Amino acid sequence: MPRRSGSKAVAAATARHPKRRAATAAEARGQHHHRCLHERRRLAYESARILAEQGPGEFDRARRKAAARLGITDKRCWPDNEEINDALIAQQRLFEPDLDADVADLRRHALQAMRELAAFRPRLVGPALRGTATRAHGVELRLFADSPEEVLMALMDRRIPWRERELSARFGNGAVQMHPVFEFVAGDVPVHLQVLPWHALRQPPLDPVSDRPERGIDAEELAALLADMSGPSAADAAP
């Protein structure tokens, strides 16, 4: 009788023993899971590095660019936005020791602007709220009005020079809408005012990180957040 090769013998033995076959399959799944977990971490770190360079909010672009750079084509091994955001925070805390102080200062600037524009029910959203913003990123405030012109008039009354751009917002019902953003610099801090209609206060756009409704926080909640932060500068910002 001809002798079986080693690989064929193993395959034949595995075929005759279902338990062994199941164990082999489980081992293969475990190896894939371990490899995939390692690739997710690598990809999350590289995506975060790209995200830090190109600015907040472009998670999908950073993830795809990182995947192409690292040659990771299996999308099952791609990290989600929250994993990338966690990696971004870890990197910033490692390489930017003043991050907490910068975030606190940005939040104080945001609170001042929110009190100035209280008529539009402002809410803080974005990296300054998540704790990943640098001074160059500035603060993102969401305002609500019957028309963008109302916000423009408020800026003109305060003699604030501004520039306008548009930002797409994705909602839970699948709709994607464009909304105006008015930008200006307060001191050395960029301020971005997203203007949405009043109904978006109850049904806000989706958070680009969590993919859940991004409700943000109002001025009262921000003041309480600043009061809870450690350090005398944070206490000074509380009302």
pLDDT tens string 24-52? 545 545 555 667 989 999 999 999 888 87
Count of other CB atoms within 10 angstroms of residue 5: 9
Read off the amino acid at residue 166.
Answer: E
Among all chains, which residue has been given the structure tokens 């977990």? 37
CATH class of the domain defined by 99-237: alpha beta
Contact 21, 14 (CB under 8 A): yes
Mean of all residue pLDDT scores within the chain: 84
| pTM metric for this prediction | 0.70
Tokens encoding 20: 């062994």
pLDDT of 234: 41
What distance in Å separates the CA atoms of residue 209 and residue 162, rounded to the nearest whole number? 28
Shortest CA distance to 182 belongs to which of 237, 226, 112, 120? 120
Task: Phi first, then psi: give them for residue 144, nearest 5 degrees.
Answer: -130, 135
pLDDT tens per residue across span 62-116: 899 999 999 999 999 999 988 998 898 888 777 777 778 889 999 999 999 999 9
Residue pair 59/211 in contact by the 8 Å Cβ criterion: no
What is the rounded distance in angstroms from the CA atom of residue 205 to the CA atom of residue 174?
A: 10
Mean pLDDT lowest among 8-12, 48-52, 228-232, 233-237: 233-237
Residues across the chain: 239
Is the model's pLDDT at 221 over the cut of 60? yes
Closest CA to 70 of 79, 81, 57, 80: 79
Instruction: Lay out the sheet containing 176-186: strands in order across.
Output: 123-125, 139-144, 189-196, 176-186, 163-170
